[in-house]
Structure 1
Amino acid sequence: METETNIFSPDFRKNDYEFYKRLRADEPAHSFSLQGGRTGWLISRYDDVVELLKSSSFIKDQSKVFGAISSADAHSNEAKLFHNMMLNVDPPDHTRLRRLMQPSFNPKEMLKLAPRIEQIADSLLKDMEHMEGSFDLIDEFAFPLPIIVISELLGVPVEDRHKFRKWSNTIVSASENEHSKFAEDVKAFVEYLDYLIKERRENPQNDLITGLIHAEEEGDKLQGNELYSMIFLLIIAGHETTVNLIGNGMYALFEHPKQLELLKSDPNLTETAIEEMLRFHSPVDSSTARWADENIVLHGKTIQKGDMVIASISSANRDERKFKNPHLLDITRKPNPHMAFGYGIHFCLGAPLARLEGSIAFRKLLRAFPHITPAGSLSDLEWRSVFLLRGLKELPVLRA
């Protein structure tokens, strides 16, 4: 099967699950054209995605494919944020960076945050009690909860947190944004990090940014622009996944009202429900890009050395070969080996935090508003036009 579907189109989300289903059946290694005449590949079956994400034959470091960036580019705003990011490097640099952050994000450390996350959720829900008519669950709950949590971990001042939503949305939507808008927001983000890093150097605090600065000063742990890249990644990844988990999860429950009633009647199902929400409308739709380090034959097609390869997380999580009735939400599903947080060495570092935030959010939300309903037709809701992520633009709801 050959198809001309543009997977980077803003309209792609409207029928992407059907598109993925056709790919899994007929074209599990799907090629598409990139700018400059290069070839990209979209991998859609569960087992193939597992192999791709764990294989050392697919690398993250673009410089190994296209050569090192110029000295001028190395000091650009984009370089400060994107180059040397843990997501975009291979071992041994990836191993070093991940080892640096792992202690702060292990499950035991995350559980210590539970009382504070509960306080934040309670405060947000109390504010929502006084709202009349419909309100946007994304704006009022799904976004502020994780952005407050990650900001407090990092040590970002309260008055600055609202800036991250605009910057984050522009940067993760880079392919749909005008270059000038993208460059403007990247510049603003870097300037803010300049300020924040300078302030923490002068006034150390008990927060992650101070810890990262200390690691940089030791010399052998953080190098070059890695400090900027790490803070940027923590801010973006630290809230985007949970925003989408809460929004997408509530949307899925609205799509399956019997499952919503089941969860309300038995809050003990929350943990398995969270896993099923992560599978059903995965907050991260696809993996970040990898490049083939050698010629590889997959399903009769040759992926050439240097070709870009993307794994479809959403497709893998609905693979009929792996999941029974994958098109249905089942909050009691066990086992549930979804790949919403990736697989292999790049498995999401913040998964324990996202799971904890999601669990607290749904327990609190459904207890506070047991009669919550969508305000309008679900079919009218729109997905953000971001290829990498899956999230709603808004989710208007009524408390009763």
Structure 2
Amino acid sequence: MTLAPDPFRSATHGKRHSAYTVLNDRGPVHLMHRTRSRSTWLITGYDEARASLTDPRLVKGGGGANIFGHRLDPALLAATRTEMLSSDPPNHTRLRKLVSGAFTMRRIDLLAPRIQQVVDGLLDALVDVESADLVTTFAYPLPMTVICDLLGIPEERRADFRTWSAQIIDPAVVGFEVFAEAATDLVGYVRELIATKRAQPADDLLSAVIAVRDGSDQLSEDELTSLVILLLVAGHETTVNFIANATFALLTHPEQLAVLRAEPARIPAAVEELLRFDGPLQIATQRVATETFELGGVTISAGDVVLTGLLAANRDTSHLPGADVLDVTRTPTPHLAFGHGIHHCLGAPLARLEARIALSSLITRFPDLRLATPADDLPVGDAVLINALTALQVATRPAPAS
């Protein structure tokens, strides 16, 4: 890495944002490292980031273009990376159309009562607890339960799914051996699950995508396994991170939290501001330049890798004055937390629904909720893709009188 300061290293939460502020002050596009054959660039400016997400000269290039893609067994690569996020048109168009036929707004809206039930149960368990890690007790089990319910994954296998998900979300951090082993185990189980659902269809998303058709077209076996893995990781890890980040942001901005307590109708708009202010992803998955062109005052050469910095772009003050300030009364402004263009997150409506219910219920049930450790001490781990607190210790009762 030649990038300095480096936002991808372990640090306290605030230092990551500070690193991006320094980079944005220098310009919108930054060289991360260079080899003889190509360079890797990080985009931090909002306008350049948004443009990069729709630029036809920047392509995904299939699963093999991703880190370790060239090292994985071809069969394992196909079973994990034959999905929308790694694809370009026209295959991306075909896959998204098929999946959208099963992953409907109606199916998502019907989940609201179940999400509320899960939230209530998790918060019930915290009523008699003086302090708890909100990541492990609330932010993690909520989306894991929801996505496993949605896919029809049995209760006894959900702990395995959590382990595999954590090991494949950021392969550059865990290393090839750990990543490959987790991917192998996950694919093996998903294939068993697909076989079960095919033999005994149920009222769940996996049964629906197995059955979906567009004329004679349907998802192949590799497309099915890749989709389940994508939904697991994108539908779980990102929501965990966002619920924790949003709660931390509100607890460290008590005046903003007070606004939401007084005016709960603002919560849907506040979710958008919280996504902008401290979203769950640092970058979009990598793209590769197919030709040489100029972007943000630098030359991107054919074959170069481009990483679009979603977290940095959303706080680019040259695009949005005061972008480094949390304001839940702000008129919702466009943000890139869910990406942009054809790869805009298909699960964004579900993430928003979970976040609205989770945050509303949390601040209602616990009027005295506060951080149990100094805000400056909260760590984030090494990560390239995600923006995640490793823990969020909170107290549920009033602070003792001094």
Asked if TM exceeds 0.5, the reply is yes
Q: Aligned pair in 2 of structure 1 residues 299, 125: CA closer, same or farther (>3 Å)?
A: closer
Instruction: Report the residue type matching 2:91 in the other structure.
Output: D
Task: Give the total of aligned pairs.
Answer: 394
Q: Aligned pair in 2 of structure 1 residues 354, 198: CA closer, same or farther (>3 Å)?
A: same
- CA deviations 1:228-249 (Å, max 9, x no partner) are 1001001111111211111000
1:370 is aligned to 2:372: no
Q: CA deviation at 1:216?
A: 8.1
Q: Aligned pair in 2 of structure 1 residues 12, 145: CA closer, same or farther (>3 Å)?
A: closer
Aligned 8 A contact 2:12 2:378 in 1:
no
Task: Tell me the equivalent position of 2:285.
Answer: 288
Q: CA deviation at 1:24?
A: 2.3
1:188 is aligned to 2:201: no
Moved more, 34-43 or 216-225: 216-225
Q: CA deviation at 1:384?
A: 3.2
Aligned 8 A contact 1:276 1:329 in 2:
yes
Q: Counterparts of 1:215 and 1:102 in 2: how far apart (Å)? A: 10
Q: Counterparts of 2:89 and 2:3 in 1: how far apart (Å)? A: 36
1:30 aligned counterpart, secondary structure? strand
Task: Tell me the equivalent position of 1:379.
Answer: 376
Task: Tell me the equivalent position of 1:340.
Answer: 337
Which residue, 117, 120, 140 being the options, matches 2:118? 120
1:266 is aligned to 2:263: yes
- CA deviations 1:308-359 (Å, max 9, x no partner) are 0011111110111222311111011113211111100000101111011000
1:237 is aligned to 2:234: yes
Matches within 5 A, 1:169-188: 169-188=166-185
Q: Counterparts of 1:160 and 1:216 in 2: how far apart (Å)? A: 29
Task: Tell me the equivalent position of 1:144.
Answer: 141
Moved more, 294-303 or 354-363: 294-303
Superposition RMSD on alpha carbons, in Å? 2.5
Q: Counterparts of 1:36 and 1:210 in 2: how far apart (Å)? A: 47
Q: Aligned pair in 2 of structure 1 residues 34, 224: CA closer, same or farther (>3 Å)?
A: farther
Q: Counterparts of 1:16 and 1:377 in 2: how far apart (Å)? A: 17
Task: Tell me the equivalent position of 2:163.
Answer: 166
Q: Aligned pair in 2 of structure 1 residues 11, 399: CA closer, same or farther (>3 Å)?
A: closer
Task: Tell me the equivalent position of 2:78.
Answer: 79
Aligned 8 A contact 2:45 2:313 in 1:
yes
Q: CA deviation at 1:73?
A: 3.3
Instruction: Report the residue type matching 1:80 in the other structure.
Output: A
Q: CA deviation at 1:217?
A: 11
Instruction: Report the residue type matching 1:347 in the other structure.
Output: H
Q: Counterparts of 2:78 and 2:63 in 1: how far apart (Å)? A: 13
Q: Aligned pair in 2 of structure 1 residues 284, 70: CA closer, same or farther (>3 Å)?
A: closer
Instruction: Report the residue type matching 1:203 in the other structure.
Output: Q
1:205 aligned counterpart, secondary structure? coil
Instruction: Report the residue type matching 2:166 in the other structure.
Output: N
Instruction: Report the residue type matching 2:27 in the other structure.
Output: E
2:126 aligned counterpart, secondary structure? helix
Q: Aligned pair in 2 of structure 1 residues 10, 377: CA closer, same or farther (>3 Å)?
A: closer
1:226 is aligned to 2:223: yes
Aligned 8 A contact 2:60 2:87 in 1:
yes
Which residue, 68, 93, 100 being the options, matches 2:91? 93
Aligned 8 A contact 1:216 1:223 in 2:
no
Q: CA deviation at 1:220?
A: 2.4
- CA deviations 1:28-53 (Å, max 9, x no partner) are 22112267753101111111111100
- CA deviations 1:231-280 (Å, max 9, x no partner) are 10011111112111110001001111111111112111111111111011
- CA deviations 1:174-229 (Å, max 9, x no partner) are 21224332222122111211221222222221222122223489862323511110
Q: Counterparts of 1:256 and 1:70 in 2: how far apart (Å)? A: 45
Q: Counterparts of 1:397 and 1:181 in 2: how far apart (Å)? A: 32
Task: Tell me the equivalent position of 2:321.
Answer: 324
1:176 aligned counterpart, secondary structure? helix
Aligned 8 A contact 1:65 1:306 in 2:
no
Moved more, 155-164 or 306-315: 155-164
Moved more, 13-22 or 177-186: 13-22
1:56 aligned counterpart, secondary structure? coil
State TM-score, norm by structure 2.
0.91
Instruction: Report the residue type matching 1:81 in the other structure.
Output: T
Aligned 8 A contact 2:273 2:332 in 1:
no
Which residue, 244, 249, 252 being the options, matches 2:246? 249
Matches within 5 A, 1:193-204: 193-204=190-201
Q: Which runs of 5+ in 2 are unaligned?
A: 398-402
Matches within 5 A, 1:274-313: 274-313=271-310
2:364 aligned counterpart, secondary structure? helix
1:175 aligned counterpart, secondary structure? helix
Q: Aligned pair in 2 of structure 1 residues 12, 369: CA closer, same or farther (>3 Å)?
A: closer
Task: Tell me the equivalent position of 1:40.
Answer: 40
Q: Aligned pair in 2 of structure 1 residues 230, 399: CA closer, same or farther (>3 Å)?
A: same
Moved more, 107-116 or 285-294: 107-116
Moved more, 236-245 or 3-12: 3-12
1:322 aligned counterpart, secondary structure? coil
Q: Aligned pair in 2 of structure 1 residues 349, 18: CA closer, same or farther (>3 Å)?
A: same
1:128 aligned counterpart, secondary structure? coil
- CA deviations 1:355-383 (Å, max 9, x no partner) are 11000001111111111111111111111
Q: Which runs of 5+ in 1 are unaligned?
A: none
Aligned 8 A contact 1:383 1:393 in 2:
yes
1:221 aligned counterpart, secondary structure? coil
